[in-house]
Structure 1
Amino acid sequence: MRSQGVRGPRVLAALSAAAALLLAAGCESGSARASAAPSNVLGPGLTHTQFSAIDAGPQAAGQVAVALAAQPMPQAQHIMGFGVANPEPSPGEYDFAGLDARMDFIRRSGGTPVITLCCAPDWMKGGAEGTTDWRRLEVAPEPEHYQDFADLAAEISRRYPDVHHFQVWNEFKGFFNEETKTWDGPAYTDLYNRVYDALKEVDPGNQVGGPYIEMGAPPPGVYTGPSELTGPWGLVDQRVLDAFDYWNDNKRGADFVVVDGHTTTEEGAPDDATALAKIGDVNRWIQGRTSLPLWWAEWYVEPDAARWPPEKRLAQRAAGLVEFARTGVATSFYWNAARNAASPSGLWRPDGTPEPFLGTLQEFARQFPPGAPVTDVGVAPPVFGARGPRATVLVNTSDAPVTATVEGADVELGPYEVRWIPRGV
């Protein structure tokens, strides 16, 4: 994951009357709610991180909410850090003000709320009760507190009865075994299984997924042996694949599988277009192991050091979305939606003005609705394309004009052009 917000700014203290009623309804204790299982195929969406629309004031938040509501999408929010405070500073003492405000914004903007169950209060990972050391945000709970974390997940589910989608943890943070130099699949799976059981006890309709591990290469200069997942784009660290397999073989259950990753030249691809081939190869590797819907919690197509022009950045992201649609990704979340000094390429500016890629992301949600059939159109890089039930999309990722042949017809595409062709045209 790229640089994270450790602690978000102060959030709105007041909630709308409708949200307050929902929250009050969710605070009751008692037996599990009985709800029908919601869809676990949500389409493209976004994740809120340290800075989001509500932090810029009511006017900006309202403008962003209106823009998002024009084409609703799933929206994810972490429970600690990433813009919200410690949810349980001491055992049994809760502070949900920040999370309440974020969830309220998601509702007001028409989004399907998704909660990412990360990170853990300090007292669960060796810190003192009542304290929060944000430098240790990415430390995992200690094993003796796995059940405490599961209980917190259950409390959150009860508080937000309209939320039914939960991603468990984030990129195996704190689950690297320094002795064996491997990702600790057994430890993460123990935590996951407890959270899974706790959420299903609250509501059997809750949709729960993991392992939310980054399908990445080994660190630069570190050799970890051969990998079973390679391509012209590079390779995925075999230790990551082993951890995925352990979770997949030993999980109590799951409603979807969630991973994330970078598809950039930083991992060995000779060019930006070739880097995108990693998406399909990763997806096929996972789909060979499970038939569960596949989610990408984060995805990055631009190298950290790159300073691409806006047109190239938009085209490369659109091509990534094409690959998601074409290779069977059920849900994906664009990371760090708000533009700020630390993240100059968000979906909206600090004043609430939408950036062009928000419209592109929403168009993919509109033209490739969840569960709709998607077919290949037979083009090759630098052109990417897919056909949905309503339109065909073509993306030129190069800085020169190209001609693509689709269904026997030549289509001229300008540099970095994203073209939508309605079906029947």
Structure 2
Amino acid sequence: MFNQQSIDSLPVHQSTPSQASPALKGLRVIDFTHFVAGPLSTQTLADFGADVIKIEAPERGEDFRHYPTVDPAIPAQGGPFIWANRNKKSLALDMKSEAGLKIAKELIAQADVLVENFSSGVMDRFGLDYAACAKLNPRLVYCSISAYGREGPYADRLGFDPIAQAESGFISMNGYGDRQGVRTGAAVMDVATAMSATNAILLALMARTRDGVGQKVEVALFDTAILMTGFGAMQHLTTGYEPQRNGNVSPDTCPSGVFQSQDKPFYINCGNDKIFQRLFEQVLERPDLAHDPVLSQRVKRLEQRERIFQIMDEAFAKQPWSHWAPLLRAANVPHGQVRTLGEALASDEARSRGLVTRIPHPVKGWIPNIASPLRLARTPAVAPFAAPSVGQHTQAVLRETLGYDEDHIAQLQAEGAFGVASADAVKEAS
């Protein structure tokens, strides 16, 4: 159950006022996505004014709705789902019914963007592959998000974030050298893939402004995961070097790692010689080491990491974090407390950026919200509204977007366009 007392203590989300229309106002997106990479991508479009219509199965909706934590008062809107689906409309359609499929095609015919991340072949079976949709709407930007692409020998493989981390070499680079590599706790490959998909969609829309023609866009989880190995990939290709697991220590800079004050752990990253000199002269009060002819050179420091770390460990252990934090900041040494997630969300930094707020919810009153990290001065993000319940906007979309009247909607209900329960309800009422 959501902690309503904690939620009520959060500041109310304050939207940035603007005289300009939202950046993506007038853009219509048909959203066939589920879980993380797809929904997070379409949420970014929705955050900046796009009309995103999420199509999902009647009654239960997509599986991600039911990932914990789930509040019994809103059983199909768990924390993970509301994180990735704000500012969207939900249209509940039985895509296996002829009537439901017809509605989907009518929406696609007038849309700007379609985004899907089903398993390969699913959209083809619906008759909604790119070629078919392009005939309905030549201006359509059709984005497919998959594990290994829609073509080639691995197109049929299912893939999730930790699989991409494993197969890309990413896991092999993370953790400690004396044990197996570890995956990240957060789904970083899904999040990065979502960002890549949003970029690709916006690029395709820019291209469309020149010639009026849409195109197919593909983003693959595995491709993104290779990019996420960072410059280590190019180090390997140019020298054969195989990145090693170094825990919290950097193989390229020194001293960089986690240190312990009297009461709290913190991270320091000395990315160059000048930072090292400021750290030892202004913070640790060791000018002799700051200007040592050997230690003042980055490569030489790497060779004497254990000695340097021992000196720092002994010094930092003498005072609490409240003593060291202002000194590190004054000396302009990159540093940060090693926090729990809860500590990070409640931090002064998060508060100063307006990152964690609360927004209205029709059932709960308020729910928490994590703001978009994208800040546009002239066309900022729209005022956020909560992720929808299953089919919350079905009637509104049919009336306002497609222009259906009540008789047409009732007929579609009877034909099972919105699921068996909906059709049964129409029969009982007649």
- Please give the range of the TM-score, normalised by the shorter of the 2 chains: under 0.3
Structure with the larger helix share: 2
Bigger Rg, which one? 2
TM-score scaled to structure 2, two decimals?
Answer: 0.27
TM-score scaled to structure 1, two decimals?
Answer: 0.27
